[in-house]
Structures are given as structure tokens and as C-alpha cells.
Amino acid sequence: MVAGLVFLYLWQGSVLSTLRAERARALLSLQDLDRVRLDLVYKVDRAYSLEEVALRARALGMVPFDEKRTRYLVLGGGNH
């Protein structure tokens, strides 16, 4: 009887140790994932910043809006 209780006590301690180790690994993994998430948020914010978008637009030959370059199409024949 005593041997059975000792076995259960030791088994319970072993299970608790295993669960604590798994929890510690899960917490470390969560911290790593949070770091990756923050890095991705930073990269997305930087990639879609106004300065970056303007830089890409200039590289594609786009320029800021200029009233002198605007052409208006006037349609005749209507009473609009």
C-alpha cells in the first residue's frame, strides 16, 4: 500500500514537472511569436508610410498633381 502511494506521489511530481516544462516552452514560443509580430507590424507600417509610397511612385515615373498638366474634356450639344 505504501509503495503504491509513493509511486503515485512520484508519478504526480513527474507529471507536474513535465507540465511546467511544457508551459515554459509555450511561453518562450509565445514571446518569440510576439517579437515576430511586432517586427512585421513595423515593416508593414514602414512599407505603407507616405514617404515610402511617394518614393515608389517617383520610381515609377509618377509625379505630384499639377494643375498646369490637367486637361478638361468639354462635351458639347447637351443642356447640362
Task: Tell me whether residue 27 is in a domain.
Answer: yes
Residue 74's pLDDT is 85
Task: Tell me whether residue 67 is in a domain.
Answer: no
Give CA separation, 42 vs 48, 52, 68, 78, in Å. 10, 13, 38, 53
Q: What are the pLDDT digits (tens) for 34-65? A: 999 999 999 999 999 999 999 999 999 998 88
Task: Tell me whether residue 69 is in a domain.
Answer: no
Residue 67's pLDDT is 83
Task: Tell me whether residue 10 is in a domain.
Answer: yes
Task: Tell me whether residue 56 is in a domain.
Answer: yes
Number of domains within the chain: 1
Task: Tell me whether residue 76 is in a domain.
Answer: no
Handedness of CA 18, 20, 23, 28 (dihedral sign): negative
Q: What are the pLDDT digits (tens) for 9-32? A: 889 999 999 999 999 999 999 999
